[in-house]
């Protein structure tokens, strides 16, 4: 019995190590693209600008009060992104790599796919709440703000602003991603020349997948960002998310709720590519057993 437990434990650690070793280069490869598009999205929301106007403002250095044109401005917040992704790496990579094993575990149970999808999405959403401070810092830096802009004594609590929305956003993202991943793969097999498990198929399918889940969770992310880079918009005796909604409506109109959507979809496309690559590595590892 003890030998069985030991072997199971060694196998779990081996899989986690493989997941992180596969996920690390994927995370690093995604970083410049995801950071750049996310910065355009945040500035577009914060300054009420179109995607093109936000990109011009960032390039010209106006967002950071530098007034020196440079492509380097798009990478502001990269340290926050790397901090966030490093904190997320163990959870995300392990979850994706181990997802095929989770699906096998629930395979013969009633509503097995639903259970595996809920367990996968729920675990990653809880992890996202824990690392919310890194997300808050990245959002503030990319909007051209600093933690010093937050009132004294409220800095720690501000780092957890939007944590609930962040968890809900991640749950929605990963649930939609996993729930319809197999359906999308089948659609590609039936209607395109791409093998959805090949690199070409992964790249070809990433944009439609990104549009799908980003649209579903965008309103939650929009409110989360508003709370993170506007530390003083919450009114007394008013729920914070209602305050964020009222602030967007008053300053940008209802169209403001969709500010930054396009660049976020583009950034998430690279995240989908990376996620599918790690997921496929997990599938192939399981098939070798």
Residues 6+ apart with CB under 8 A from 112: 103, 106
User: The whole model's pTM is what?
Assistant: 0.83
- The mean per-residue pLDDT over the stretch 167-189 comes to 85
- The mean per-residue pLDDT over the stretch 251-273 comes to 94
Q: Domain 2-49+78-287: give its CATH code.
A: 1.50.40.10
Q: What is the pLDDT of residue 184?
A: 85
With the CA atoms of 129, 27, 119 and 190 taken in that order, what torsion angle do they form, in degrees rounded to the nearest 10?
Answer: 140
Confidence of residue 5 (pLDDT cuts 50, 70, 90): very low
Q: What is the pLDDT of residue 45?
A: 95
- The mean per-residue pLDDT over the stretch 231-251 comes to 84
Sorted by where each begins, the domain ranges of the chain are 2-49+78-287
Task: Report the distance separating Cα 285 and Cα 279, nearest Å.
Answer: 10
Q: What is the pLDDT of residue 3?
A: 40
pLDDT digits (tens, 9 = 90+) for 42-96: 999 999 999 999 999 999 999 888 878 999 999 887 877 777 777 776 677 777 7
Confidence of residue 115 (pLDDT cuts 50, 70, 90): confident
Confidence of residue 235 (pLDDT cuts 50, 70, 90): low
H-helix or E-strand spanning residue 190: helix 163-191
């Amino acid at each position: 019995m003890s030998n069985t437990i030991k072997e199971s434990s060694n196998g779990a650690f081996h899989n986690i190590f493989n997941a992180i070793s596969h996920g690390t280069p994927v995370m690093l490869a995604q970083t410049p693209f995801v950071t750049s598009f996310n910065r355009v999205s945040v500035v577009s929301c914060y300054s009420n600008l179109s995607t093109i106007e936000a990109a011009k403002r960032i390039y010209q250095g106006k967002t950071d009060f530098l007034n020196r044109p440079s492509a380097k401005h798009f990478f502001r917040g990269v340290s926050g992104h790397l901090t966030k992704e490093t904190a997320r790496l163990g959870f995300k990579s392990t979850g994706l790599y181990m997802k095929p094993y989770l699906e096998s575990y629930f395979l013969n149970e009633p509503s097995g796919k639903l259970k595996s999808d809920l367990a996968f999405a729920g675990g990653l959403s809880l992890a996202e709440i824990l690392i919310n401070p890194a997300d808050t810092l990245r959002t503030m830096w990319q909007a051209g703000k600093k933690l010093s802009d937050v009132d004294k004594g409220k800095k720690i609590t501000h780092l957890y602003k939007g944590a609930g929305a962040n968890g809900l956003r991640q749950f929605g993202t990963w649930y939609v991603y996993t729930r319809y991943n197999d359906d999308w793969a089948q659609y590609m097999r039936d209607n395109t020349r791409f093998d959805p498990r090949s690199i070409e198929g992964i790249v070809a399918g990433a944009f439609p997948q990104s549009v799908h889940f980003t649209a579903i969770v965008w309103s939650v992310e929009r409110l989360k960002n508003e709370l993170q880079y506007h530390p003083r918009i919450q009114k007394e005796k008013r729920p914070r998310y209602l305050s964020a909604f009222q602030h967007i409506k008053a300053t940008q109109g209802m169209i403001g709720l969709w500010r930054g959507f396009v660049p976020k979809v583009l950034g998430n496309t690279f995240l989908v590519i990376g996620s599918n690559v790690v997921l496929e590595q997990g599938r192939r590892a399981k098939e070798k057993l």
